[in-house]
Structure formats: C-alpha cells, structure tokens
Structure 1
Amino acid sequence: MITRIISGTIGIALAAYVIQEGGTIFSIAAAILAVLAWFEFTRAFSHRGGNPTLLSGLLGIGGMLYGAYLGQLDMILLALMASAVLALLTSVILRGDVSVPDVCISVAGIVYIGLPFAHLIMLRDISGAAYVTPIETFDLGTVMVWIMFIGTWASDSFAYFAGRSFGSHRLAPAISPNKTVEGFLGGLIGTIAALVGLGYVLSMPLTQMAGLGAAIAVLGTFGDLVESLMKRHVGIKDSGAIIPGHGGIWDRFDSVLFTAPLVYYYTIYFVLR
C-alpha cells in the first residue's frame, strides 16, 4: 500500500506539471504513454500465441498523435487508414506468421489506443475562455483536461472505497469479480459530486457538470471492464509492472481511453457553443 501511495503521489505530481505545461511537453508525454500502452496490448495478446503487428501500430498511433498535435484531422485519418492497410499487407506477406485474427486485433488495438490519446492531445489544445480560480487562471483546454482526469480518478476512487465498504452484489462477475453494484453507485455519486464542486468553483453550469460526471463514471467503468475482459481473455492479471503498485500504463489509463473522447466532444458541442 505504501508503494502504491508513493508512486501515485509522484504520478499525480508529474501529471500536474505536464497538464499545466501543455503544448509539446503534453503531446510527448501522451505519445510515450500511448506507445507503452500499445506495447502492453501487443504483449498481452501474444500470451495466447497471437502475433499482433507491432510496427503498424507504432506507425499508426504515432501518426495519429502527430496529426492531433498539428490539429490536422486529415492526418489522423491518413495514419489510421495507412496502419490498417499495412497490417493487412503484413498478413499477406508474412502469411502463416500473422493470421487474420492477429490483423483484426491489431487494427482494433490501434483504434482503441491511438484515437483516445489523439483526442486527449486535441482536448488540451482547445482554446477558449479563461477560468479564474483561487489557485491560478486556467485556459479552457487545461480546465477540461483536469475535469476529465479528476472525474476519472474520482470514479475509480469512490468506486473502490464504496465497494470495499458496502459491496455485496457483483456488477460483472464473469469479467471482473471484484466490481460491485454498490461500488459503481458510489463511484457514480462521488464523480457527480466532484464535478459539481468543480463546476461551482469554475462557474460552469452545474446541471451540465452533473450530467458529465455521470457520463464519466459510466464510461470510465465500461473502460475498466473492457480492459478486464481483454486481460481475462488472454489470461493475465496486470498489463505490466512499470508503475510500482499500480500495474502497467494500460491498467492506469483504461478508463481514460473512454473518458478523454467523451470530454473532448462535450467541450466541442456544449462548452464552445
């Protein structure tokens, strides 16, 4: 537990620095996390004898993140299309070593990991009204990234403690036996409360923030369950051990893969309009 707390504290401090800096530093950090998550993803599916196309994923994810950094949606689509074609060509050229299921898993993984991190970069780069707080004045992109991370962390934390304290009804026993309905409800209520509190401090519409909090809790839980389903399929407990006491990058960002696009589109369609 001490190791988990220490590594978590260091991680939050690093995240705060990267989020506040934004720009190239934020994009590089996102790219490093995405590449590490991709390595963990391909290694996980290799446990069952599969052979995902590592190179096509690196090129596709790298291209999508570079397109997000430049703000060029066409480049993101080009990188996605090119990586899918490369994966298919690899299956043809290396027939017998890269199977059709390997290609399908590879393309799905590129979309599953690459696009959410691209949305995260684009979210941080959104410009708009400044928000004044007792701590600092934040631009729109910074505020929304913080809202996304705080909401996701709140969902995980409140669900964990509510599940430990009151959990008795399994939420998805075939996928993740430790998750409970009570934990989910605790995470839902806690996330709504956290975002309403942030909305009050930032003078944002409280009803919308409550709805966003509920959506983050639901999609964050689904993100966690999706990763749990994949890990159960390939027969592993953790995706890695790069973060002491927390597992791998994929383990830590499984919910963010769902909540980052959510908050991006919320910002585009509700905050900027």
Structure 2
Amino acid sequence: MFRLGRSDWTPRVPLLDGICALLLIYAQWRAASEPAFSLGPGLIAHERGRSLAAGALPLDAVFFLFVLGVAVLTLTTKRPLVDILPAAGISSSGFMLVAFPLSFAIRLHGLGAQGPALLLFAMVIIWVSDTAAYFVGRAAGKHPMAPQLSPKKTWEGAVAGFVGSLAAALVFMPWVNVPLVHLLGMAALGNVAGQMGDLLESGYKRSAGIKDSGSLLPGHGGVLDRIDALILAIPVVWYYWIMIYRPQS
C-alpha cells in the first residue's frame, strides 16, 4: 500500500479515520446517551482527508463546516434538550481525538519522496514498541504505569517499548535519509506520544465500561486498540519533520 501514489492511497486513511471515530463514539454511547451526530466525524474525516490531499479546503473551513453541522443538527433534533450538549460533545470527541489526529497520516505520506517511508517508519516504531512492552511487561513488569487507566501496563514494559522503537528506527536508516540524531529523535518522541495515545484510548474504554473497542480483530482488542498509539505518534513524527528537522527541499 505504501508504493501507491497519493491519489490512490489517500482515501484509505480517511475511511479508517471514520471507522475509528465511530468506534470511539459507540464506546461513549455505551456509557452515556446516544450521540445525536454519530455519522458526523466519519463523514468529516473522509471529506477532510480528500480535501487536504488535494489542497482544496483549508483547515479552518473544515472546522467551520463541522461546527455548522453540529449547530444545524442541534436545532433540528427531536431529542430532549438535556441530551443535546452531551451528545454533541461525544460526537465531537470522535472527530477531535481520532479522525483529526489520524488525518496526519495523509500529510506524512505526502512529504515528498520520503513520505511513504516516514509513514511506515511511524507505524513500525509503534508496533515494535507495543510488542516489546507486552512481552517484557508480562515477564518482568512490577511497577504499574497508570493503574487507573490500564492496570496491566508497567514502567518496565514502557522502557522496553521505548528501546524497541529506537532499535526499529535504526533499521530504517537505509530508507529514511536523515541524520541519525533526527531519526532517533523522531522515534523517541513518537514512542512517548504513542504510549500516551495508548493510555488515552484505555481511559476512554474504561470510562465507557467496555473491555475492547470492537470484535473485528478477535484477540487483539478491536480496531481502535491496534492503532490507538498512532493517534498521537503520527502527528508528532510529522511535526518533528517540518519543525525540528526542517528539510530544505
């Protein structure tokens, strides 16, 4: 998939955005009232991704359209007034905490010739981190990291995941043409952001009183569980590239 051109590849990320946003909304629906605007984040994610890829719609216009849609649906809903604000907030959380951050995958993929490799880099360092953290935490984890959010996550596992991300970054040296210090810097910050994203999604599941965010991937906790760390890691890698590394071309 990473060899495809931008015009072929970019619609797939907004679609995944929408799926994950709806999963997050469903989790909140289980805990509170049904969102009145459940399709909003998915549709906005899809259209926003296509527009950003084509450079046709500025970011402020996207947010305005989203707010306008919420306002229209609020005025036309037949729900009790007491449910309107919580429902709008739940739907907005799917957009702000899932669809919007994951849309940075399109931006990262579009960073010139190295864009596809950078996106794969961000995904691999997170998945290696998850694997290392799981096995080390299970075998030697003794100090809980955030028991109120995820009782099984430990500091030992977090450190193993961090080291795993750095090791994975070294493998990308032939494909990501940047100085080693920046390669490791992207991996380090991406890992920290990824672990924060993992805890964020765990907090949402716990607040909704559910164990998994879906059954599409049996034994893996759901779709959102497989990419929760990417929600923050991908934007961090993108911002590192354009603001810290700042390539000349």
TM-score, scaled to structure 2: 0.90
1:121 aligned to 97, 106, 110, which one?
Answer: 106
What is the distance in 2 between the residues matched to 1:200 and 1:165? 33
Q: Percent identity?
A: 29
- CA offset at residue 244 of structure 1? 3.0
Give 5+ residue unaligned stretches, structure 1. 1-17, 128-138
Query: Counterpart of 1:136?
Result: none
Query: Counterpart of 2:247?
Result: 272
Residue type of the alignment partner of 1:114: A
Residues 92-171 of structure 1 aligned to structure 2 (within 5 Å) = 92-94=75-77, 95-96=79-80, 98-127=83-112, 139-171=113-145
- CA offset at residue 200 of structure 1? 6.0
Query: Counterpart of 1:80?
Result: 63
- Asked if the contact 2:11/2:49 (under 8 Å) is kept, the reply is no
Q: Does 1:32 align with 2:7?
A: no
- Asked if the contact 1:169/1:180 (under 8 Å) is kept, the reply is yes
Deviates more, 1:145-154 or 1:76-85: 76-85
What is the distance in 2 between the residues matched to 1:88 and 1:113? 21
Query: Counterpart of 1:252?
Result: 226
What is the distance in 1 between the residues matched to 2:176 and 2:29? 46
Residue type of the alignment partner of 1:260: I
- Asked if the contact 1:61/1:113 (under 8 Å) is kept, the reply is no
What is the distance in 2 between the residues matched to 1:62 and 1:188? 32
Query: Counterpart of 2:53?
Result: 69
Query: Counterpart of 1:239?
Result: 213
Residue type of the alignment partner of 1:55: L
Query: Counterpart of 2:163?
Result: 189
Query: Counterpart of 1:179?
Result: 153
2:172 aligned to 198, 213, 224, which one?
Answer: 198
Q: Say how many residue pairs are matched.
A: 244
Residue type of the alignment partner of 1:108: S
- Asked if the contact 2:122/2:187 (under 8 Å) is kept, the reply is no
Query: Counterpart of 1:261?
Result: 235
* Cα shift readout 1:57-99 (whole Å, capped 9, x = no counterpart): 233222211222213451x432222112222332333241742
Deviates more, 1:196-205 or 1:236-245: 196-205
- CA offset at residue 24 of structure 1? 3.0
Query: Counterpart of 1:14?
Result: none
- CA offset at residue 202 of structure 1? 4.3
Deviates more, 1:149-158 or 1:92-101: 92-101
Shift of the 192–235 alpha-carbon distance from structure 1 to 2, 3 Å rule, reads: same
Give 5+ residue unaligned stretches, structure 2. none
* Cα shift readout 1:218-254 (whole Å, capped 9, x = no counterpart): 1110000000000000111111111232232211111
TM-score, scaled to structure 1: 0.83
Residue type of the alignment partner of 1:116: P
What is the DSSP-based 3-state SS (H/G/I as helix, E as strand, rest coil) of the residue aligned with 1:199?
coil
1:225 aligned to 187, 190, 199, which one?
Answer: 199
**CA RMSD across the alignment:** 1.9
1:208 aligned to 179, 182, 186, which one?
Answer: 182
What is the distance in 1 between the residues matched to 2:146 and 2:32? 27
